[in-house]
Amino acid sequence: MNTILDCYTDEPAGLGVPPYLGTYPRYIAGYLGGEVNYLTIDDLRFWKKYNFRRKVPKASEKSDIYTYNLTNNADRVKEILEKTDTLFVILGVHVPGKYLSAMPGTLHELAPLLEGLSCRKILTGPAVFGTQLHGGKTFEKASLEVFDKVDPSLYGFSYETVTDFAVRGASLLSQIPDLRMMEIETGKGCDIGRCSFCTEPLKSRVEFRKNEDILREIASLYAAGARYFRLGKQTCFYTIPFAAELLKSIRESCPGIKVLHIDNCNPVKVMIDHKKNGDRITKAIVQYCTSGNVAAFGIESFDLAVVRDNTLNTLPQVGYDAIKAINHLGSERGPDGLPRFIPGINIIFGLRGETKKTHEENMRWLKKAYDEGLFLRRINIRKAALFEGTSLHKDPGKAMRKNQRWYWKWRNDIRQHIDFPMLQRLVPKGSVIRECYAEIYDGNTTFCRQFGTYPLIVGVKGRLPLKEFFDLKVTGHMLRSVTGEVVQ
């Protein structure tokens, strides 16, 4: 008997942390065929750490995100693993972040949990290139002796065969009791591929799936009950051949989809679409995707010296022009209460060549966007993580160590002076954000958010029934989230 253990994945191109369901467990399930058991790291913790005791948070406690994402197999995980012949472990985080209702597994955590299991254990996923939950550090160094094999081949299936696997893998949804947003792969590799910190060029050559294959996979997931989708597993949505046609076909073939979003966008390609094609792709995104959609711009730094020293993809002016271009077409509010399509920005600290001027340049360009009335949905700020094979790992320079003491100050400057007023502009008091999913408790507060590519967290006083939807009126603003109340 084959069993998949999903410890969750997060990469520059691709997210598989709940409420997302990544591509790897679905592909591997289809590849294996027949009866396949699906377990999560939460299930394993539930057995090994909790002895099958379900923890109900008291009024003063936070929901337990270590066992929040139990499958339908949770109560029989011990029985399943004792009967398992081969266990396929999917693990790996390349983009360290914080997660509202899940905690990815690490190699250090997993090794003792797997001890005593007699089955064959195969490790795959991004961890074959390294994994790290925290920025500013090198990849997690842990013994792999607990595994019988580390298998990169299960991590990168050929596009000639993967669609059949993906279609069969839709059957995994029957083992998951909660709603999931489907991460859909459209392509792999990076056609620029020079950023010093990035692992994507190490994994794959540039290749794109056929639109008809993507549609087959989405149709199979749709038939299995999925209604939330993100075309997120690519380094840049704008590089997909026939991207506009793909979006149109998805909406026509699956009319009941509730959310259709995208993820990564290279500002350079956005501007090519703007100048050469009259914004053809951007217009299609606005027309066929659902509102609340975010273009994740990997600008990383607005400091020209850092751009040069790390061979980043985007010059500051190009990045800024792309912000304006998408705002021009996507800033109208949609049915969910948020703009239809606006940019989000990634900023990385600890790159080569970084100085105090770097933060000044970042603030200058971000303030310019705010002063000109533009929208930014979110600014992700993180420390670079070092992965073997990247240019930054080979030559990290001095910035990561030298500027460590400034990180929190620089981060707080952006949060206080950009994020806070930007949120006030994005969702003023009294705005209604619709279809928010009550996800976790923190004391007497319920944290809710929409299903989406980068959903806005709304804190509501009181303990709403979890895993139900509510329309919420904004009552106040925090640095990266808002407070709200249920619309009666």
- Phi, psi for 104 (deg, rounded to 5): -60, 150
Q: Is residue 165 part of a domain?
A: no
Half-sphere CA count of 251, side-chain side, radius 13 A: 15
- DSSP class of residue 259 equals E
pTM confidence score: 0.95
Do both 301 and 409 map to the same domain? Answer: yes
The domain that contains 438 carries what CATH number?
2.40.50
Do both 150 and 228 map to the same domain? Answer: no
**pLDDT of 137:** 64
Do both 390 and 467 map to the same domain? Answer: no
The structure tokens listed for 93 are 């985080």
Counting other chains too, the contacts that 395-402 makes at CB distance below 8 Å and 24 or more residues apart are 395/352, 396/352, 397/309, 397/351, 397/352, 397/353, 397/354, 399/349, 399/350, 399/351, 399/352, 399/353, 399/354, 399/355, 400/136, 400/350, 400/351
The DSSP line for 326-347 is: HHHHH-SB-TTSSBSEEEEEEE
Domain span at residue 366 reads 179-426
- Burial label for 158, CB within 10 Å (0-12, 13-18, 19+), is exposed
List 457's β-bridge partners, or say none: none
Do both 360 and 327 map to the same domain? Answer: yes
Do both 331 and 472 map to the same domain? Answer: no
- The two beta strands, 259-262 and 228-233, are parallel
**pLDDT of 98:** 86
**pLDDT of 205:** 85
**pLDDT of 131:** 82
**pLDDT of 216:** 98
The domain that contains 229 carries what CATH number?
3.80.30.20
- Burial label for 332, CB within 10 Å (0-12, 13-18, 19+), is exposed
Q: Is residue 238 part of a domain?
A: yes
The whole-angstrom separation of Cα 137 and Cα 466 is 36
- Burial label for 367, CB within 10 Å (0-12, 13-18, 19+), is middle
**pLDDT of 141:** 66
Do both 246 and 302 map to the same domain? Answer: yes
The whole-angstrom separation of Cα 307 and Cα 319 is 12
Question: Could you give the 3-state DSSP secondary structure of residue 91?
Answer: strand
Residue 376 in contact with residue 344, Cβ under 8 Å? yes
Segments of the chain scoring below 50 in pLDDT: none
- Phi, psi for 4 (deg, rounded to 5): -105, 130
Do both 320 and 352 map to the same domain? Answer: yes
Do both 25 and 135 map to the same domain? Answer: yes
The DSSP line for 100-143 is: SS-----HHHHHHHHTT--SEEEEESGGGG---SSTTSBPP---
Do both 363 and 439 map to the same domain? Answer: no
Do both 114 and 233 map to the same domain? Answer: no
CA-based Rg of the chain, rounded to a whole angstrom?
22
Do both 405 and 363 map to the same domain? Answer: yes
The whole-angstrom separation of Cα 28 and Cα 162 is 9
The whole-angstrom separation of Cα 230 and Cα 14 is 10
**pLDDT of 139:** 65
Q: How many domains does the chain have?
A: 3
Q: Is residue 140 part of a domain?
A: yes
Do both 115 and 188 map to the same domain? Answer: no
